[in-house]
Structure 1
Amino acid sequence: MQESFLHYIWKNQLFNKRQLQTVAGQPIEILHSGFHNLHAGPDFKEAKLSIDGLQWVGAVEIHVKSSDWYAHNHQTDENYDGVVLHVVFEHDKEVLDQHGNAIPTLLLKGLIKPGVLKRYEALMLQPAKVLCESQLKNVRVITRLSMLERALVERINQKSAMVLALLEQNNGSWDETAYQWLARGMGFKTNAEQMLCLAQSVPIKFINKHHQLRQKEALLFGASGLLNVDLNDSYANGLKEEYLFLKQKYNLKEGLSYNEWHFARVRPANYPTIRIPQLAALLAKHSQLFQLFIEAEEIKNLQKQLQVETAEYWSAHHRFDAASSRKVNGLSKSSINNLIINVTVPLLGAYARYTANDTYMEQAVNLLSAMPKEQNSIVKQWQDLGWNVSSAFDSQGLLQLYRFYCSNSQCIACNIGAELIKQ
């Protein structure tokens, strides 16, 4: 039994309400179930109830067991002083308010409509990773699509919240934030945080003071710590010499160390010694990164703007002191699409929230709709279940649906699961 299921039952009043009584025998009449509170504090606020002939307006707190009140330390939280009814599935302990009086408790066990409870339990006992997979075809198309869109917006908002947190650290500078967010995206998961730290150690104002690609590379590689090893490579030593001069000129703080970067079990195309030159090339091509991303409307134009050529040295090397016959010059098409999804879209979502202008959110969604779907095991699983995946709009929404609902068995919080249980 999940507490979220009981929230659903209370919110939709899916239980027998005839001759309701508290565990102490006080008659209850529910005049208004209250408003579902998704933030800190009691689960439902502004409920209107009649308990033992007296009308109350206050909060309703819901638990699987009444003893959860103490397990969650509500007895020490003043936010719960206004609770007028405690709704539980099992009553295993009397709960007292701050004055030592018993809080009226409603026991739902035995009252929930049998069909609803049976369908919920059957769904929760499914052995599949996607619990509703055998019943997915029974869900209305409009329900599936509305949940997909809801999940996509949640995903954009979660990522945009990270952008806004970064913006606050940067004292409201969108240019600095866009630069740092791009650097993080260039880390492609494995070195994402390292790339973010790198960008934070070399402010964009110093990068933009130099128009030569070599100097931008020197600043980034020097701060990365990847030059702080014995190298016989003239190109690397030249960057190191350039960096030592610029470090003193700009009074730069110490950056990262070599050992912080991940090379093991990473494809050569994703080596930090490849991604850093690509970042430098992007910074050389675009001095106004924020404007590039925020004005992005045509997907083909944005893809073209993100195409870059790195210094000639990197067409024959993946690492310093190690020549390679495999050429990696610039970003691949899949890497560019990844940056649009994970850099451009969250920036647009963040700017939409910052300016309270939904136009930028629409722009983000339109970009995803115009992009090809992502290829991974989660997307394939949805396709195998018969879900039509035609764009990044679909794949991003389905990734969110799987990771934040299916993987956590949050079926009751999902429109799809809720429809199956209520049928």
Structure 2
Amino acid sequence: MIKEDFLHFVWQHQYFNSKALRTTAGESVAVIKPGVVNQLAGPDFKEALVDVNGIQWAGSVEIHIKSSDWKAHKHQGDPNYSNVVLHLVYFNDYQVCDNEGKPIPTVELKGLIKPGLLNRYQQIIKSNNPIACAELFPKVRSVTKLAMLEAALIQRLQRKGALFKELLVRNKQDWEQSVYEWLAQGFGFKTNAQSMLALAQAVPLRVLRKHSDLKQWEALLFGASGLLNTRHTSSYAYELKREYTFLERKYAINSQLSFNQWHFSGVRPTNFPTVRIAQWAALVHKNHSLFSLFTDFSNTRELQKRLQVQQSTYWQQHFNFGVENKQGNDLLSKSAISNLMINTVAPLLVAYSEYKDETDMLEQAMNVLMSLPVENNHIIRSWYELGWNVNSGFDTQGLIELYNEYCKHNNCLKCKIGVELIRS
């Protein structure tokens, strides 16, 4: 079983018998420059330079498993492929011609790839293990594992940071509003993240800051959330609803949220959206500058203490309107704070680092993750079984990305670990 990405790998690094290289028509081929990987539409490699029968050709190289894939992928007549000077395939089963009807020089790699390389690739790609390289993993050098771990972690943080930058663009570079929305999404965790974001957008931070009373903040947020639009016997819910009726008209709030958009079923009471909205409101109310809250701290312990905010009195004693918690609600739990540090704080620091084109905030993000405890899930347990020494949130976040973005999709040839094992 051969995949195109393996042929890309072979061509890019020239892992074949170049002395025996000939076209299917018997012409000699010498590779002067394999070209550069093309990430856009068009041929796989651009700016290549090859010698075919003593004549040098500059242009592109297109790679397929079978020659007939050229037709199957509808390259014929496509102007993007008009400058292909070499067609590289594993099986030659079809004569490919250019737009003028002239045969495009084609090289069949079957039998030319180094046997050891091909065998190691097939051993990994045919593995039934969720981590395809599991059997060969002990052979990987520590330096390679650490390099891939850091690369995967940075990729994960940058991907999440890009989501924050989308908010920043939407809010016309208003950092406070963007952080406010980003934090709201973080407080929604997985189950209510999108509803929390919609709530933050329905009730902008500037509206909340027109009031100093936390109760009015709760009236605005719970009113816009749609969670007051049910039959509540709670006197507190009635007070908030009455206050919201006035504030809704005053600020022309137009929220489309309803009770049905919030998830209570299957969620622990301490993670009910009502509790999270109250905690989020209390944290924002307490901090005049949200941006400074997450970017101006000396160490992670200091930031963790800042996040241990106490919600209002009513929500210290209730899970929902009229649903009393006799034991009382504690401060934001350690696991919830760790989740916010991982999914809210660290990506924000990376986004700001890229915005300022400075590395200080990137290092700060790394330090935050290094200070957090190890996560326990099936992915991390799989790496433990392979002997990976997992010490902190830095490791677990990198390993989760490595598994989800590389192992899960058999992207072994884009992984430093996979490449080392196949090359070795």
Aligned counterpart, 1:216: 217
Q: Would the aligned equivalents of 1:198 and 1:255 in 2 still touch at CA under 8 Å?
A: no
Aligned counterpart, 2:348: 347
Counterparts of 2:345 and 2:78 in 1: how far apart (Å)?
41
Aligned counterpart, 2:176: 175
**Superposition map of 1:339-418 within 5 A:** 339-418=340-419
Q: Which runs of 5+ in 1 are unaligned?
A: none
Quickly say closer, same or farther: Cα 1:44–1:262, change in 2 above 3 A: same
Counterparts of 2:260 and 2:70 in 1: how far apart (Å)?
47
Residue 58 of structure 1 aligns to a residue in which SS?
Answer: strand
Quickly say closer, same or farther: Cα 1:386–1:32, change in 2 above 3 A: same
Counterparts of 1:112 and 1:326 in 2: how far apart (Å)?
68
Counterparts of 2:241 and 2:285 in 1: how far apart (Å)?
19
Quickly say closer, same or farther: Cα 1:230–1:70, change in 2 above 3 A: farther
Aligned counterpart, 1:187: 188
Quickly say closer, same or farther: Cα 1:169–1:71, change in 2 above 3 A: farther
**33-42 vs 161-170, which moves further:** 33-42
Matched, 1:270 2:267: no
- Name the amino acid aligned to 2:280: L
**335-344 vs 46-55, which moves further:** 46-55
Residue 32 of structure 2 aligns to a residue in which SS?
Answer: strand
Counterparts of 1:57 and 1:84 in 2: how far apart (Å)?
7
CA apart distance, 1:202: 1.1
- Name the amino acid aligned to 2:104: I
Counterparts of 1:244 and 1:73 in 2: how far apart (Å)?
60
Report Cα offsets for 1:81-103 as digits up to 9, x if no partner: 33322222223333343444333
**58-67 vs 306-315, which moves further:** 58-67
CA apart distance, 1:165: 1.5
Q: Would the aligned equivalents of 2:42 and 2:80 in 1 still touch at CA under 8 Å?
A: yes
**Superposition map of 1:9-408 within 5 A:** 9-75=10-76, 77-408=78-409
Quickly say closer, same or farther: Cα 1:66–1:208, change in 2 above 3 A: farther
Counterparts of 2:177 and 2:41 in 1: how far apart (Å)?
33
CA apart distance, 1:110: 1.4
CA apart distance, 1:109: 1.4
**398-407 vs 74-83, which moves further:** 74-83
CA apart distance, 1:408: 0.8
Counterparts of 2:234 and 2:213 in 1: how far apart (Å)?
20
Measured on the aligned residues, the alpha-carbon RMSD in Å equals 1.7
Counterparts of 2:184 and 2:41 in 1: how far apart (Å)?
34
- Name the amino acid aligned to 1:368: L
Quickly say closer, same or farther: Cα 1:358–1:92, change in 2 above 3 A: farther
CA apart distance, 1:77: 5.0
CA apart distance, 1:320: 1.2
**29-38 vs 74-83, which moves further:** 74-83
- Name the amino acid aligned to 1:361: L
Counterparts of 1:336 and 1:188 in 2: how far apart (Å)?
11
CA apart distance, 1:312: 1.3
- Name the amino acid aligned to 1:5: F
**9-18 vs 38-47, which moves further:** 38-47
Quickly say closer, same or farther: Cα 1:257–1:59, change in 2 above 3 A: same
- Name the amino acid aligned to 1:193: Q
CA apart distance, 1:39: 4.2
- Name the amino acid aligned to 1:94: Q
CA apart distance, 1:187: 1.0
Counterparts of 2:188 and 2:78 in 1: how far apart (Å)?
42
Report Cα offsets for 1:139-197 as digits up to 9, x if no partner: 10001110101101110111111111221111111111111111111111111111111
Counterparts of 2:82 and 2:213 in 1: how far apart (Å)?
64
Q: Would the aligned equivalents of 1:31 and 1:50 in 2 still touch at CA under 8 Å?
A: yes
- Name the amino acid aligned to 1:91: N
Residue 398 of structure 2 aligns to a residue in which SS?
Answer: helix
CA apart distance, 1:368: 1.2
Counterparts of 1:214 and 1:76 in 2: how far apart (Å)?
67
Quickly say closer, same or farther: Cα 1:77–1:260, change in 2 above 3 A: farther
Quickly say closer, same or farther: Cα 1:180–1:19, change in 2 above 3 A: same
Quickly say closer, same or farther: Cα 1:55–1:152, change in 2 above 3 A: same
Counterparts of 1:17 and 1:364 in 2: how far apart (Å)?
46
Residue 190 of structure 1 aligns to a residue in which SS?
Answer: helix
Counterparts of 1:269 and 1:79 in 2: how far apart (Å)?
57
Quickly say closer, same or farther: Cα 1:76–1:359, change in 2 above 3 A: farther
Residue 212 of structure 2 aligns to a residue in which SS?
Answer: coil
Counterparts of 1:358 and 1:41 in 2: how far apart (Å)?
35
Q: Would the aligned equivalents of 1:160 and 1:349 in 2 still touch at CA under 8 Å?
A: yes
Quickly say closer, same or farther: Cα 1:112–1:208, change in 2 above 3 A: same
- Runs of 4+ in structure 1 deviating by more than 6 angstroms, as ranges, are none
TM-score (norm 1): 0.95
- Name the amino acid aligned to 2:83: G
Residue 8 of structure 2 aligns to a residue in which SS?
Answer: helix
Counterparts of 2:149 and 2:233 in 1: how far apart (Å)?
54
Report Cα offsets for 1:300-347 as digits up to 9, x if no partner: 011011110011111221111222334323311111111011011111
Q: Would the aligned equivalents of 2:237 and 2:321 in 1 still touch at CA under 8 Å?
A: yes
Count residues with an aligned counterpart.
423
**399-408 vs 258-267, which moves further:** 258-267
Q: Would the aligned equivalents of 2:51 and 2:57 in 1 still touch at CA under 8 Å?
A: yes
Counterparts of 1:77 and 1:187 in 2: how far apart (Å)?
47
Q: Would the aligned equivalents of 1:297 and 1:367 in 2 still touch at CA under 8 Å?
A: no
Q: Would the aligned equivalents of 2:199 and 2:255 in 1 still touch at CA under 8 Å?
A: no
Counterparts of 1:331 and 1:61 in 2: how far apart (Å)?
55
